[in-house]
Homo-oligomer: A and B are copies of this chain.
Amino acid sequence: MPIITFQPSGKQIKARAGDDLITLLKKAEIELDYQCGGKGTCGKCVVKIQSGKVDSDSFGKLSREEISDGYICACRTKITDQDAVVRIPNQVAYVNDSVSDISDDVKLIQQDLFPTHIDYNPLAVKWLIQVPLPKSQDGLSDIDRLTRQIQADWGPKRVIYPLSVIRKAADIIRQESGAITIILIREPEDYHVVGLEPGDTTEKLFGIAVDIGTTTVAVQLSNLSQAKTIGTSTAYNAQIKCGLDIISRINYANRPERLEELRQLILGTINHLIEQIITTRRVGKMEISNAVLSGNTTMIHLLLGLKPEYIRLEPYTPTLLSVPYVTAHDVGIDINPDAWLYFSPCVGSYVGGDITAGLLCTDLATDSEEINLYIDIGTNGEIVLGNKEFLVSCACSAGPAFEGGGIEDGMRAAIGAIDKVEIDRESGEARYSTIGNAKPVGICGTGIISLLANLLLTGCIDPAGRLNRERKNPAITVSGKKAMYTIVPADQSGTSGAIKISEIEIENIIRAKAAIYSACCLITKQLEISFDDVSNIYIAGGFGRFLDLNNAKIIGLIPDQPLDKFRYIGNASLIGSSMILISQDFREKQIRLANRMTYIDLSTDSSYMDQYTAALFMPHTDHSLFPSVDELIKETNKIPSEK
């Protein structure tokens, strides 16, 4: 029985000779956008046969070069009796998700930035209440008595009940002689009741934080009664198959049924992650009574089913920046249906709630006099610069390269991902470490940065990212105009082929780093500040376990500033969201941040293209900004190798 392995997910399916490849893809839950219905004319289901032999008659639709590279149309292809490795190109497949312990993530922040004194004050609270039993002729209904008791115990706000809670109130109030636990959201004017339970259940109260990235989605579960995060689950955003970046998603959503498709896809990802984490942590869905969701403005529009088109069209005005009170039921999130979904406020079309949440993990959320810089490296890069006097943000499109997207062997920071690479100066071959010390199956963001820095320092690539064809190096293979660097040969790989990076992919990465670096330059320039004036530089993003800042500087992704100025804070959006879940004060802090932040549109700055072009070298063309590669090599030889 032939075994078909799909990359980059690594998913394996047992097949039979003669099986349609398209059927196997569906079986593996890899969805491609087939438009021609299997005629082989739309070219949407093109995949690459990395190894093995298949029987395909789709070659007419593909270029000679594509055919020689192993590309075929899945819809015109049958399996033979051989094993095969099939790679889905230009796509980040929906790989196996992982549930991680929170410790790693929080460690990045907790030392001094994570507030040492958390005022325990969660958005959703559980209160034990003693409701008087019904009395004859007092003229009070069950809900009247409940409302009066809440107001007597906790102050005279309006109490708002959903029908589902009212429906079970009569029984619950009578169950334990009137002792009930009420779950509610405290708003300035109102108490929103989320649930009622008989007796004292105040110990069981959970909430989730959700970071909705264009490429990666993460869900973090917290025990609200203990103010403790208890697990994180991450996966690729299932919308990826409809476009790798924000603009292509907006374009895809141009018909109502496709907007609905995108909404269902992101809902599917989030609900799948929730299911995964509550199963491993043994928490019931109905016990999750609150959620904080943070994402860029487009992702929030897509999740709510709002037409994102006007974000892309001048004057780039979104439908909303602050989401009103909506329940899990309204949106389709699979927790207690009456749970409140609090959305981190967005600042503009391209600076979203992920940024206002992430800033909570930095000194930018404090009354600091010092000027601080926040760089969120994702599919969109967002930069925030400010202190207690001013707060300015901008955004740039970097693409998903640093999250493993758009790179054939790229992957999320999950088990088996190469997260660190060293290049042997003599042979030019790579040594690497992987997450979980597993056999390597791909390379994640930190691995990519580490790889490029080391390729540069060992002369395997030049500052423009061209592989050195002159030097004798078994890892570099050239075919026509195309060159490729092999990180892991096929025989050492955990997938069925070698793990490689092409020159074209290296160029992609350089473009991504150039976009982010030039945005940093421009925002400082516009405010007439130099990087030397900046006290702290926070780097956020889901690269991997850690980011080697020296490597990031070597490739010119981040400014050439002393290492002690930098702090890598990982998925700050997720951590910030969990902080809000546990403390109302952080919500208020975040609203203040969002209100005082201004947004600069880089596309209107005429010098942006110059800045960007100048940054398309590693580290940079301007040697007043970065040392030259030669200087870097000297420098690196002096400091002990990274640990």
The reply to whether B134 and A166 contact each other, CB–CB distance below 8 Å, is no
The reply to whether B163 and A310 contact each other, CB–CB distance below 8 Å, is no
Residues of chain B with a CB closer than 8 A to A304's CB: 163, 166-167
The reply to whether A142 and B318 contact each other, CB–CB distance below 8 Å, is yes
* Alpha-carbon distance A432/B78, docked complex (angstroms): 85
Does A141 have its Cβ within 8 Å of any Cβ on chain B?
yes
A297 to chain B, nearest CB (A): 9
A114-131 contacts to B, CB under 8 A, are: none
A544-599 contacts to B, CB under 8 A, are: 598-599
The reply to whether B324 and A161 contact each other, CB–CB distance below 8 Å, is yes
The reply to whether A163 and B317 contact each other, CB–CB distance below 8 Å, is no
The reply to whether B319 and A140 contact each other, CB–CB distance below 8 Å, is no
Residues of chain B with a CB closer than 8 A to A137's CB: 315, 599, 601
Does A320 have its Cβ within 8 Å of any Cβ on chain B?
yes
Task: Name which of A42-50, A325-333, A438-446, A617-625 contacts chain B.
Answer: A325-333
Known: A140-B317, A158-B189, A166-B324. 5 other contacts (CB 8 A): A139-B321, A139-B348, A139-B598, A166-B304, A169-B319
The reply to whether A306 and B167 contact each other, CB–CB distance below 8 Å, is yes
Residues of chain B with a CB closer than 8 A to A331's CB: 163
Proximity bits, A135-146, B CB within 8 Å = 1, else 0 = 111011111100
Does A13 have its Cβ within 8 Å of any Cβ on chain B?
no
The reply to whether A142 and B319 contact each other, CB–CB distance below 8 Å, is yes
The reply to whether A167 and B134 contact each other, CB–CB distance below 8 Å, is no
Does A316 have its Cβ within 8 Å of any Cβ on chain B?
yes
The reply to whether B166 and A319 contact each other, CB–CB distance below 8 Å, is yes
Does A160 have its Cβ within 8 Å of any Cβ on chain B?
yes
Does A305 have its Cβ within 8 Å of any Cβ on chain B?
yes
A147-197 contacts to B, CB under 8 A, are: 158, 160-161, 163, 166-167, 169-171, 174, 189
Residues of chain B with a CB closer than 8 A to A598's CB: 139
Residues of chain B with a CB closer than 8 A to A169's CB: 319
A250 to chain B, nearest CB (A): 13
* Alpha-carbon distance A315/B135, docked complex (angstroms): 6
Does A293 have its Cβ within 8 Å of any Cβ on chain B?
no
> What would 14 A/B residue contacts be, using CB atoms closer than 8 Å?
A135-B315, A139-B348, A139-B599, A140-B317, A141-B317, A142-B318, A142-B320, A143-B322, A158-B189, A161-B324, A163-B326, A166-B319, A170-B306, A170-B319
A603 to chain B, nearest CB (A): 11
Residues of chain B with a CB closer than 8 A to A141's CB: 317-322
Question: Which residue from B142, B143, B307, B316 sits with its C-beta under 8 Å from A136?
Answer: B316
- From A594, which residue of chain B is reached at the shortest CB distance? B139
Copies assembled: 2
A interface with B by C-beta (< 8 Å): 134-137, 139-144, 158, 160-161, 163, 166-167, 169-171, 174, 189, 304-307, 309-310, 314-322, 324-326, 330-331, 347-348, 598-599, 601
Main secondary structure of the interface of A (DSSP, over half): loop
Residues of chain B with a CB closer than 8 A to A314's CB: 136
The reply to whether A167 and B305 contact each other, CB–CB distance below 8 Å, is yes
Given contacts A136-B315, A189-B189, contact A320 B144 (CB under 8 A): yes
- From A170, which residue of chain B is reached at the shortest CB distance? B319
- From A297, which residue of chain B is reached at the shortest CB distance? B141
The reply to whether A166 and B315 contact each other, CB–CB distance below 8 Å, is no
Given contacts A306-B170, A310-B170, contact A160 B317 (CB under 8 A): no
Residues of chain B with a CB closer than 8 A to A348's CB: 139
Residues of chain B with a CB closer than 8 A to A135's CB: 315, 317
Question: Which residue from B136, B139, B166, B316 sits with its C-beta under 8 Å from A320?
Answer: B166
Given contacts A160-B325, A325-B160, contact A317 B142 (CB under 8 A): yes
* Alpha-carbon distance A313/B318, docked complex (angstroms): 55
A168 to chain B, nearest CB (A): 9
Most B C-beta atoms less than 10 A away, residue of A141, A161, A305, A601: A141
* Alpha-carbon distance A526/B315, docked complex (angstroms): 73
- From A193, which residue of chain B is reached at the shortest CB distance? B324
The reply to whether A307 and B163 contact each other, CB–CB distance below 8 Å, is no
* Alpha-carbon distance A317/B145, docked complex (angstroms): 11
A605 to chain B, nearest CB (A): 13
Residues of chain B with a CB closer than 8 A to A144's CB: 320-322
The reply to whether B317 and A134 contact each other, CB–CB distance below 8 Å, is yes
* Alpha-carbon distance A314/B174, docked complex (angstroms): 13
* Alpha-carbon distance A464/B573, docked complex (angstroms): 82
